[in-house]
C-alpha cells in the first residue's frame, strides 16, 4: 500500500517499515505494520472528541492506537470503536449514539 501511495519501489517501502518497526521497538513500542488495516478514521476522531469531553481522551486514544498499530483492528469499524472506547471508560451506548449521528 505504501509503495503505491508514495510511488516507491516495494523493497524501499518494506525497508522503510522495517526501520520504523525497529525505531518503535527501541522506544519500547510494539508496532506491527503488517497487521494494520487501512481505514477511514473520521469516526475514530469523532469518538476522541467525545472522550475529551468525558475526560478520558488519552485512554481512548491509547486503546485505538493499540488496536490499529499492534493488533490489526479496523478503526473504521463501529463495533471496534465502541468496544475499545468502552474499555477506556466511555459509555458504549453513548459512543453508539455519536456514531449513529452527526455530532462532532
Q: What is the pLDDT of residues 31-54, one digit of tens each?
A: 888 898 989 999 999 999 999 999
DSSP state of 27: T
How does the average pLDDT of the chain come out, rounded? 95
Question: Residue 2 pLDDT > 90, yes or no?
Answer: no
Q: Could you give the CA distance from residue 11 to residue 3 in angstroms, rounded to a whole number? A: 8
Q: Which single residue is written with the C-alpha cell 458504549?
A: 92
Collapsed DSSP state (helix, strand, coil) of residue 62: helix
How many angstroms separate the CA atoms of 29 and 11, rounded? 24
The answer to whether the Cα torsion of 52, 53, 59, 65 is positive or negative is negative
Contact 54, 14 (CB under 8 A): no
Amino acid at each position: 500500500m505504501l509503495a503505491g501511495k508514495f510511488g516507491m519501489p516495494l523493497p524501499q517501502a518494506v525497508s522503510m517499515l522495517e526501520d520504523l518497526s525497529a525505531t518503535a521497538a527501541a522506544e519500547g513500542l510494539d508496532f506491527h505494520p503488517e497487521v494494520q488495516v487501512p481505514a477511514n478514521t473520521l469516526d475514530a476522531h469523532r469518538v476522541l472528541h467525545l472522550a475529551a469531553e468525558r475526560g478520558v481522551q488519552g485512554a481512548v486514544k491509547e486503546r485505538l492506537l493499540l488496536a490499529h498499530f499492534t493488533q490489526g483492528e479496523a478503526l473504521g469499524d463501529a463495533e471496534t470503536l465502541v468496544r475499545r472506547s468502552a474499555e477506556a471508560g466511555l459509555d458504549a451506548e453513548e459512543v453508539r449514539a455519536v456514531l449513529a449521528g452527526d455530532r462532532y
